[in-house]
Amino acid sequence: MKNDKMKAQHRINGQIRAREVRIVGDDIESAVVPTRDALRLAEQKGLDLVEISPNAEPPVCRLIDYSKFLYQQKKKQKELKAKQVKVEIKEIRFGPQTDEHDYNFKLKHAKEFLMEGDKVKAHVFFRGRSILFKEQGEVLLLRFANDLEEVGKVESMPKLEGKRMIIYIAPKSVKKANKPVEHDDAETENVQKAEKKAPQQKAKKEFTLSVEGEDF
């Protein structure tokens, strides 16, 4: 079925309506010839005449093995699809009166989701008359987005949809921290022995980093 859709993108052989065409192809000198002559040449070479630029004057046709061309196109599409990263949307729900502990707990999970490459859909759900506090819900979501700015970027500002106020946050590209080098037991033992043999007394140096009058 997919090949049928791809075939519909091009006119081939007897489907070509123009009286003359410009032919191109491997080991073929580009020239404008009557369509019947181009079809005859394609048949002699065991190839297909494929209209690749129908809006040109005259239309441009390539002599190729069309079945092989369709196979290669299908293969490329599969490879591109395999390379595409699947992004999931993780949903986080707040109430208009969310306490600090619950907020931090959900903030932590949102950071993890974004660092893993997933989107976050956060919303505040208003029950009954709590819809009167929709401004409070908007402030909460804006604070949430601000606390996630290192790992996420806002896709859409808070928007009220029915009884829910929603915000979407997409992941930023985050570089994963390098893992510490792991040593096997034998290597660790050798390092420990070398440290014991080294001089025990070393001059200690203190460094103070001062930025605008503050010490760190």
**Each residue's pLDDT tens digit, 144-180:** 999 999 999 998 889 888 888 999 999 987 444 444 4
Task: State the distance between the two ends of the chain, measured CA to CA, in whole angstroms.
Answer: 67
For residue 147, what is the domain's CATH number? Answer: 3.30.110.10
Show the CA angle centred on residue 203, arms to residues 202 and 208, nearest 5°: 130
Give yes or no for residue 196 having a pLDDT over 70.
no
Q: Which of 81, 102, 132 is the last residue of a domain?
A: 81
Report which secondary-structure segment, H or E, holds 154. strand 152-161
CATH of the domain at 18: 3.10.20.80
Domain annotation covers residue 213: no
pLDDT given at position 79:
83
pLDDT of residue 211: 36
Residue 193 binned pLDDT confidence (cut-offs 50, 70, 90) = low
121 and 60 within one domain:
no
The torsion angles phi and psi of 146, rounded to 5 degrees, stand at -65, -40
**Cα–Cα distance between 10 and 8 in angstroms, integer?**
6
Burial 37-49 (b: 16+ CB within 10 A, else e): ebbebbeeeebbb
**Residue 128 structural domain:** 89-171
Beta carbons of 74 and 3 less than 8 angstroms apart: yes
Of residues 195 and 120, which shows the higher confidence score?
120
Beta bridge partners of 34: 20
Q: What is the mean pLDDT of the chain?
A: 78
In the prediction, which pLDDT does 163 show? 86
Give the predicted TM-score (pTM) of the model: 0.43
